[in-house]
Amino acid sequence: MPADLSADLASFAVRTIPFDEWVDIDTLIHRSSVTSGDFDYVLRPLCPDCGAEADIEYETLDLESDGGREVISALVCSPCQVLWEPVQPDE
């Protein structure tokens, strides 16, 4: 049974990924899930420390043009207790 990550994330170490690299990760994961066709696959990121599959946390952006779109907000490795987040670009 999967654990409830939201309660445990406060104790996880936080690492950041440059925003442009984060956009590439988000694009690759979403593109693979949309275009997989007959192959029925989705790319899953792996933890660079232990090699385990990272869990993906999503958030919904409320954009007027499309009524909301899910984007990746964090990658989580439970065995290493590490959470990766994007560095926010200067506004």
In angstroms, the CA 14 to CA 44 distance is 19
Residue 17: the pLDDT is 93
Q: For 8, phi and psi rounded to 5 degrees?
A: -95, -15
Residue 64: the pLDDT is 62
Q: For 31, phi and psi rounded to 5 degrees?
A: -65, -40
Query: Which of 78, 75, 84 shows the shortest CA–CA distance to 18?
Result: 84
Least reliable range by pLDDT among 7-11, 22-26, 42-46, 66-70: 66-70
Residue 43: the pLDDT is 78
SS3 (DSSP) at 3: coil
> What are the beta bridge partners of residue 13?
82
